[in-house]
């Protein structure tokens, strides 16, 4: 299939959703993300960012509108395949690791897909290589540092071979070195990426495009450097760059994490 004919990796069309108390969390969201794009999802607390992400693998269903992943509708019939394609919704929480060794934790998902043992082993090795944790394969997860556990949690997602990664605050609770190292790992991944974060420097390091959501609506969508240079836009939607972090800093940080 040519790039022009390929369905978008993520496609939401006029999606509306309200919680049982009647609060409208999404109010006509339309968003198209092509395969391989890296998009930061930004906005104030309560804007609808996490609600949007929970629609991508069917945890939540729209009251109206449509959600598709790689051309497949997010419905009951296709949910197993959708959930294979979309990974990462919880890997910001490394406390999800619960098996005796790193290797067992990373193998858990592929093994439950019914894959043959040699394919499970291949996926485990590849995923641990991607996050720089292969030498820790036989270590108990609870003996690792927080940053190392976060890498292993990422490997558990990558071992499922997802097409779309949805990351919710991946830099949270990391010290500066671990934050930088984890960002370098994420920058090398080839999957379509949706990054939900309040860490605007991290967003610009990893993403080329940003979408700003507020009150359940998409209020801005464009090149991330342009949106983050718009001080009036940031002020209207409770977004704030660190002091001294201007356009030059954004581009320098992006070049550093991407290796050039």
What residue ranges define each of the domains in the chain, with the CATH number in brackets?
10-88+162-258 (3.40.50.300)
Instruction: Quote the CA–CA distance of 179 and 170 in Å, as a whole number.
Output: 9
Mean pLDDT in the chain?
A: 90
Contact, 54 vs 42, CB < 8 A?
A: no
Q: Which two tokens stand for residue 167?
A: 């990351």
Q: How many Cβ atoms are within 10 Å of 104's Cβ, its own excluded?
A: 17
Smallest Cα–Cα separation from 5: which of 35, 29, 39, 36?
35
Q: What is the pLDDT of residues 106-149, one digit of tens each?
A: 999 899 888 999 999 999 999 999 999 999 999 998 889 988 98
Q: How far is CA 92 from the centre of its chain?
A: 9
pTM for the whole thing? Answer: 0.88
Q: What is the DSSP letter of 170?
A: T
| Strongest mean pLDDT among 28-32, 187-191, 252-256 | 28-32
Q: What is the pLDDT of residue 89?
A: 63
Q: What is the pLDDT of residues 24-76, one digit of tens each?
A: 999 999 999 999 999 999 999 999 999 999 999 899 999 999 999 999 999 88
HSE-up of 102 (CA within 13 Å, CB side)?
A: 28
E strands, 34-98, in order: 38-42, 64-69, 72-73, 86-87
Q: What is the pLDDT of residue 18?
A: 95
Q: With 0-12 CB in 10 A as exposed, 13-18 as middle and 19+ as buried, what is 102?
A: buried
């Amino acid at each position: 299939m040519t790039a022009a004919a390929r369905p978008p990796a993520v496609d939401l069309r006029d999606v509306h959703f309200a919680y049982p108390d009647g609060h409208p969390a999404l109010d006509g969201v339309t968003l198209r993300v092509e395969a391989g794009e890296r998009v930061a999802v930004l906005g104030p607390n309560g804007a609808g960012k996490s609600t949007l992400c929970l629609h991508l693998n069917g945890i939540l269903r729209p009251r109206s509108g449509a959600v598709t992943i790689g051309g497949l509708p997010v419905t009951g019939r296709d949910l197993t395949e959708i959930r294979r394609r979309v990974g990462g919704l919880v890997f910001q929480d490394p406390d999800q690791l619960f098996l005796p060794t790193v290797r067992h934790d990373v193998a858990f998902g592929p093994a439950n897909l019914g894959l043959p043992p040699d394919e499970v082993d291949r996926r485990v090795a590849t995923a641990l290589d991607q996050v720089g944790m292969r030498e820790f394969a036989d270590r108990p997860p609870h003996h690792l540092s927080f940053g190392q556990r976060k890498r292993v949690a990422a490997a558990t997602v990558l071992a499922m071979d997802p097409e779309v990664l949805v990351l919710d605050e991946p830099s949270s609770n990391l010290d500066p070195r671990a934050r930088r190292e984890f960002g370098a790992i994420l920058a090398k991944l080839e999957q379509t990426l949706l990054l939900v974060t309040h860490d605007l420097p991290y967003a610009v390091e990893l993403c080329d495009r940003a979408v700003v959501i507020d009150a359940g609506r998409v209020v801005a969508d464009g090149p991330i450097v342009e949106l983050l240079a718009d001080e009036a836009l940031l002020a209207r939607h409770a977004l704030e760059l660190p002091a001294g972090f201007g356009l030059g800093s954004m581009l320098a940080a992006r070049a550093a994490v991407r290796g050039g």
